[in-house]
Chain A
Amino acid sequence: MTGARFSAVAIAAVVLLVLGALWTSGSLHAHGPEIRPESADGTLSGSAAEWPSREQWVRALSLRDHNTRVVVLGVTMLGLASGVIGSFTLLRKRALMGDALSHATLPGIGLAFLVATATGITTKSLLLLLVGAAATGVVGVAVLLFLRRYTRLKEDACLGVVLSVFFGAGIAVLGVIQQLGTGSAAGLETFIYGKAASMVPGDVVLIGIGGILVILVCGLLFKEFMLLCFDPAYSAVQGWPVLGLDIVMMALVVVVTVIGLQAVGLVLIIAMLIIPAAAARFWFDRMLPMTLLAGGLGAASAMVGAGISAVFAKLPSGAIIVIVTAVVFAFSMFFGPARGLLPRYVRRRILQRRIGRQHLLRAAYELLESKGGLEEHTPRWIAFDELLTKRSWSLRRVRKLARGAQRAGQVELNDGGIALTDLGRADAARIVRNHRMWEMYLITYADIAPSHVDRDADMIEHVLDADMIAELEGLLSRPVASCR
C-alpha cells in the first residue's frame, strides 16, 4: 500500500535527521552557555541587496561553518518538535490557540529583562527570558480560556482580544526598556521576528532538551491524545482526565513556542505549529504517519530555511523558514496522495469516465433488450443514432466513450455504431442489474434516508444484506418492468 511506503519514507527521514543531529552535536564542545552573544542590529533593517557569492552559498549549505551548524541543528530540532505537537493541536482544532500564546510571551520577555536588570542578574540570561515568556504565555492562554468559558464570546473574538492586548502590552514594555536606556536592551526585539544567527550552542542544548521532551511526551501519550482529539466526550466517559490531557498538550505548545522564540520569533512561530501538520494531512489518512511526516516536514523546512538565512544574514530567519514551509505546504496541497488537489481531480476524472462507460453499456444493453437482441449469439450492431436517443449526450461524447470501451474490450466499434462483445455484455448485464436494484431499493425503502447510502462507491450488495437483496430481486423479476 502507498500508505505503508510513505510512512517508511517518513520514518527514514526522521531517523536521518536524528543521526545528522547526533553527528553535528559531536562537534558542539563547550561554548559559553546561557549567555547570548551580542545580537545584530534591528531585525528588519539592513538590506539583502548584495547577492551572496557562490562561495558563501557553498559554505552555508555544506554546513562547513561551525556557527551555521549550530543554528541549523537547533532549528531542525525545533521543526521536528513543532510538527509533532502541531499535528495534535491541529486535530484538536486549537491551532490558533498557539498564536495567542506566542503573542502573549512578549510582555513576559520584557518583564523578565527588567527583573534581570533590576536585580543585577546576568542581563539577557536566555533561560530567564524564556521563563518570563512562558509565564505570560500561559497567562494569555488562561485568559483566553476564561473569556471563552464565561463570556460566551466566540473563540475568534477571544483570540483577537488576547492576542492584540498581550502583544500591545509587550511592545509597551519594550518601549519602557528603551526609555530606561540601559543600552543592553538591544536585541530583545529579535524575539519578535526571530534571528537564528544569534543562537549559540547553549541555546541549541536548550532547544534540544525542549524538543526531545515534546516528542517523548507525544510518543507516550499518543493514543490518549488521539482519542482526546477525535472524541473528547468519549474520552471523558472512559475516565481519561480530559482537562489534564488538554493542559499537558497546551504545555507542550508552550515549550515549543518558547524554544522557538529565538529562531523563528513569536509572530511566526504559529506557522511552525500549523503548516507542517496541515501539509502532512494531505499525504496520510492515518494519524501516526501523518504525525511523523509533520515532524519530518517541519524539521526539513526549518533546516533548509535556516541554511538559506545563514546566507542572507540580514533577513529574519523566521520569515525564511516560514516561506520554505509554505512551499512545502503548497506542494503537498497539490500532490499529497491522501487529499491533495491533483490526486483528487484525477480520481474524479476516473470516476466520471467509469460512470460514462457504465451509461454507454447500459444504454446499449437496454436497446438490445427492447429489440429482443439479447438472446442472439452474433453480436448485433447498435447505431450511434439509437444511442443518442437514450440520453442527452453528444455524438462526440458517445464516440469517445465507445473508444474507451473498445480499449477495455467491452465493445467493437465501427463508423456507424458499436456492438457489445461477450465481456461487454456480461459487464452491461451486471451494471443494469445493479442500477435497477438501486432504483428498487430507493422506491421500496424510500423512507430510510437514501442520501445516507453511499451509492457511488459500493455495489448494492455491499450496502444491503442478503435478505433485502433477495427481496429486491423478487420485485425485479416481476413480469412488468417495474422501473420506468
Chain B
Amino acid sequence: MSNPTALQNGPRQSAVSPAHHPAGKEHSPDAPLSIHDMTVAYHRKPVLWDVDLDLPERSLIGVIGPNGAGKSTLIKAAMDLVPKASGRVRVYGLPYRKNRKRVAYVPQRESVDWDFPVTALDVVAMGRYRRIGWCVPVTKKHREAAREALDRVGIADLADRQISQLSGGQQQRTFLARALVQDADLYLMDEPFAAVDAATEKAIVKILKDLKADGKTALVIHHDLQSVEDYFDYVVLMNMRIIAHGPTSAVFTEDNLRKTYGGKLTLLADAAEAMRRVQARS
C-alpha cells in the first residue's frame, strides 16, 4: 500500500493530520519518535493498524483513546517489547535498539509485583543499571543520583521503604523517578495518572513541565479527558489506528473525540471481529 512515488520528503509539519497519511515518507531525523506504517497483532488479532506518527520535539504529548485502543501497544511496539507485523520505528533518527539510552519508559503500575523485596531507592537505581554495566554493583554515585530523583518526585524520605509499603501514588512516583534517573530525552509513560492521589497528579504534571522546559519530550497515555488541554500541548487520538494527531488546540475537538470513542462498532472493529470469526472456524 505504500506509494514510492510520494513526493513530500521534507520534514513533516506537525499540523493537523487527517486520519490517513500519504504513505512512504522519510523519517524526519529530528523527531523524538517517528513511526511509519506500523501494524501490530496479538495472537493473530490486529490491535494497531498502519500507524503513522511523527512526534514533535520539546513537547508534552497525550495519547487518548478508549480501552483496547492499542495505546500501550503503541509504546511497547515502538520499544520492540511486542513484535511488529510491519512498519518502521525511529528514535531521533535511529532504530530503537541503537538509541535506547535516549528513551525512558514508565510502565503501568500494575505491571510489576509490588511485594518484591526491594526498597524505593533500589527500584530507582534500576534506571542506572545500563549505565553501570554488566556485573558491577550499584555504586554510591548512582545511589546518590537515585536519591536525587526521589527528591525530585517528592518522596526522598521514603527511599528506604519496601515498595509494598508505599501508597499507589508513591509507587507511581517511584516509577517516574526511575525514568528520570536515566536522564533520557524521550519519556514514554503508560498511564502515570491512573488512580493516583491529587498531590501525586500535581507532582507529575510539574515534572512534565520541567522536562519540556529542559527540551525533552514526553509521550503520555492518558485517560482523563478533562485535563488533556491543561497538561498536553499535542495530542494523539487513537482507536486501533490513529484518528488524528496535532496540537491540542486544533485536534482536541468534539468531532475527533466522537470519531475516537463514538460507537464501538466502527468499521475497523467490525473487520477485526470478522477476521477472528474466520480464524476461529479454520
Give bound CA distance, A338 to B113, whole Å. Answer: 17
Contacts of A230 in B (CB 8 A): 112-113, 116, 118, 123, 126
B105 contact from A237, A281, A448, Cβ within 8 A: A237
- Residues of chain B in range 110-128 having any CB-CB distance to chain A below 8 Å: 111-113, 116-119, 122-123, 126
The residues of B with any CB-CB pair to A shorter than 8 Å are 43, 76, 79-81, 97, 100, 103, 105, 107, 111-113, 116-119, 122-123, 126, 129-130, 132, 134-138, 154, 162, 165-170, 178, 195-199, 201-203
Does A448 lie within 8 Å of B167, measured CB to CB? Answer: no
A481 proximity list for chain B (CB < 8 A): none
Among B105, B117, B132, B203, contact of A223 (Cβ-Cβ < 8 Å): B132
With both chains docked as a complex, state the minimum distance between the C-beta of B223 and any C-beta of chain A, in angstroms. Answer: 12
Taking a contact as CB atoms under 8 Å apart, the answer to whether A237 and B118 are in contact is no
- Give Cα distance in the complex from A465 to B200, angstroms: 9
- B130 in complex: contacting residue of A222, A239, A287, A445, CB < 8 Å: A239
In the bound complex, do residue A452 and residue B196 qualify as a contact, i.e. CB atoms below 8 Å apart?
yes
Q: Say yes or no: is A146 at the interface (Cβ < 8 Å to chain B).
A: no
Given A231-B126, A238-B100, A453-B169: A445 in contact with B198 (beta carbons within 8 A): yes
Residues of B within 8 A of A450 (CB): 197
- The contact string, 1 if C-beta is below 8 Å from chain B, for chain A 427-470, is 00000000000000000010011101110011000011101100
Q: How far is the CA of A458 from the CA of B165 in the complex (A)?
A: 11
Contacts of B105 in A (CB 8 A): 234, 237
Complex contact A238–B129 (CB within 8 A): yes
**A358 CB to nearest chain B CB (Å):** 20
Verify A223–B129 contact, CB threshold 8 A: yes
> Which residues from chain A contact B198 at a C-beta distance below 8 Å?
445, 448, 464, 468
Question: In the assembly, what is the distance between CA of A464 and CA of B201, in Å?
Answer: 11
Cβ of A380 within 8 Å of any chain B Cβ, yes or no, is no
Assess whether A236 is interfacial by the CB under 8 Å rule: yes
* Docked-complex contact A227 and B129, CB < 8 angstroms: yes
Q: How far is the CA of A448 from the CA of B168 in the complex (A)?
A: 12
Q: A452-B169, A453-B169 are in contact. Are A468 and B116 (CB under 8 A)?
A: no
Task: Assess whether A231 is in contact with B197, with CB atoms less than 8 Å apart.
Answer: no
Chain B residues whose CB sits within 8 angstroms of the CB of A286 once the complex forms: 117-119, 122, 162
Rounded to whole angstroms, the CA-CA distance of A223 and B134 in the bound complex is 9
Q: Which 7 A-B pairs rank lowest in CB-CB distance, beginning with the nearest?
A: A452-B168, A454-B167, A285-B162, A220-B135, A449-B195, A464-B199, A465-B199
A352: shortest Cβ distance to chain B, in Å? 18
Bits for A331-374, please: 1 = Cβ < 8 Å to B, else 0. Answer: 00000001000000000000000000000000000000000000
Q: What CA separation (Å) do A90 and B135 show in the bound complex?
A: 21
Quote the shortest CB–CB distance from A438 to chain B (angstroms): 12
Residues B126 and A452 in contact, CB atoms below 8 Å apart: no
Q: Which of B117, B135, B167 is close to A463, meaning CB atoms less than 8 Å apart?
A: B167
Query: Per-residue 0/1 for A282-323: is the Cβ within 8 Å of any B Cβ (1 yes, 0 no)?
Result: 001111001000000000000000000000000000000000
Q: Return chain B residues, CB-CB under 8 Å to A115.
A: none
- CB A423 to nearest CB in B, in angstroms, measures 26
- In angstroms, Cα B129 to Cα A221, docked, is 12
The one of B79, B132, B162, B167 that contacts A237, using a Cβ cutoff of 8 Å: B79
Q: Are A468 and B129 in contact (CB under 8 A)?
A: no
Asked whether, in the complex, the Cβ of B137 is within 8 Å of the Cβ of A233, the reply is no
Q: How far is the CA of A237 from the CA of B203 in the complex (A)?
A: 25
Instruction: Please indicate which of the listed interface residues B126, B138, B197 has the most CB atoms of chain A within 10 Å of its own CB.
Output: B197
Q: Are A453 and B119 closer than 8 Å at their CB atoms?
A: no
Q: Is A28 interfacial (CB-CB < 8 Å)? A: no
- Distance of B144 from chain A, by nearest CB (Å): 17
CB-CB under 8 A for A465 and B154, given A234-B126, A238-B129: yes
- Report the bound CA distance from A227 to B129 in whole Å: 9
Are the C-beta atoms of B132 and A449 separated by less than 8 Å?
A: no
Is B197 touching A464 in the complex (CB atoms < 8 A)? yes
By the criterion CB–CB under 8 Å, are A238 and B130 in contact?
A: yes
Residue of A nearest to B123 (CB): A230
Smallest CB separation, A387 vs chain B (Å): 32
Cross-interface CB contact of A231 among B76, B107, B130, cutoff 8 Å: B107
| A154 shortest CB reach to chain B, Å | 15
Contacts of A233 in B (CB 8 A): 76, 81, 107, 111
Tell me, in angstroms, the Cα distance from A281 to B195 when the chains sit together. 29
Beyond A286-B117, A448-B196, A468-B198: 18 further Cβ-contacts under 8 Å? A152-B43, A220-B135, A223-B136, A223-B137, A223-B138, A231-B126, A237-B79, A237-B103, A286-B119, A286-B122, A445-B197, A449-B168, A450-B197, A452-B167, A457-B165, A457-B167, A463-B199, A464-B199
Which residues of the other chain, B, contact A222 by a CB distance below 8 angstroms? 137
Query: B33 → chain A, closest Cβ, in Å?
Result: 14
Residues in A neighbouring B123, C-beta threshold 8 A: 230
Contacts of B170 in A (CB 8 A): 454
Q: Which residue of B lies closest to A287 (CB)?
A: B117
A87, closest chain B residue (CB): B117
Contacts of B202 in A (CB 8 A): 465, 467
Residues of A contacting B100 in the complex (Cβ-Cβ under 8 angstroms): 237-239
Smallest Cβ-Cβ distance to B154: which chain A residue: A465
How near does chain A come to B145, taking the closest CB pair, in angstroms?
A: 15
- In angstroms, Cα B103 to Cα A91, docked, is 27
A231–B111 contact, CB under 8 A? yes
Shortest B238–chain A CB gap in Å is 21
CB of A18 within 8 Å of the partner chain: no
- Closest residue on chain B to residue A231 by CB atoms: B112
The reply to whether the CB of A224 lies closer than 8 angstroms to some CB of chain B is yes
Report the Cα distance A452→B196, complex, angstroms. Answer: 6
In the complex, are the beta carbons of A452 and B203 less than 8 A apart? no
A224 to B178, CA, bound (A): 16
When A224-B134, A233-B81, A237-B105 are in contact, do A449 and B167 touch as well, CB less than 8 Å?
A: no
Q: Which residues of A contact B79 (CB under 8 A)?
A: 237
| A residues in contact with B197, CB < 8 Å | 445, 448-450, 452-453, 463-464
What is the minimal beta-carbon distance from A336 to any residue of chain B, in angstroms?
Answer: 12
Docked pose: A222 CA to B118 CA in angstroms? 13
| Chain A, Cβ-Cβ closest to B125 | A223
Given contacts A230-B123, A237-B105, A448-B196, contact A281 B201 (CB under 8 A): no
